[in-house]
Amino acid sequence: MAAAFTLLSDGEVASLDAVIDGERVLVDAGDLARATGWVLKPEGLCRDALCVPLRDPSIATADRSRLDLAGFAAALQRPVAIDVEEPAAFLGVAAAERGEQLRGMQAPDFTLPDLDGRKHSLSEQRGKKVLLLAYASW
């Protein structure tokens, strides 16, 4: 059954052509490449200069036109939350990547809006000591 499948990743929302087979979500390889930057090549999954070999070749269909979304995420060691009924998925950040970044003890940059919608980045404050306070209305 073909479906328009919503993929949330890296702060973006993309609509991918997908065939849903039970719990398996087979997304169009081209749509996935446009959404994530990862292209399926003979060497494996490649983005810019980096290629990750596909240890499990069944992640791709025989004609290599589609990729199993869960298998794609696993190949990149990224977490993915999938809901086949909606259908939608959220592709998260790998624990290894977060861990490496955090262990480096350099404060990750971010850009967020204030109440007026004006954007501010942490990096604008370089040269000052910053007390970063996370809080909430809850």
From the CB of 55, what's the least distance to other proteins, in Å? 17
Lookup: tokens for 97? 């990547």
Lookup: tokens for 66? 């589609």
Dist. CA 94–CA 76, nearest whole Å: 8
From the CB of 41, what's the least distance to other proteins, in Å? 26
Cβ proximity to other proteins, 13 vs 57, nearer residue: 13
Cβ proximity to other proteins, 13 vs 41, nearer residue: 13
3-state secondary structure of 64: coil
Asked whether 52 and 67 are in contact (CB, 8 A), the reply is no
From the CB of 108, what's the least distance to other proteins, in Å? 4
Rg (CA), the chain: 18
Cβ proximity to other proteins, 47 vs 90, nearer residue: 90
Cβ proximity to other proteins, 30 vs 92, nearer residue: 92
From the CB of 68, what's the least distance to other proteins, in Å? 17
Asked whether 6 and 13 are in contact (CB, 8 A), the reply is yes
Residue ranges that bind other proteins, judged by CB under 8 A: 6, 8, 11, 13, 77-81, 83, 85-86, 88-95, 98-99, 101-103, 105-108, 110, 112-115, 120, 122-123, 125-138
Dist. CA 8–CA 89, nearest whole Å: 6
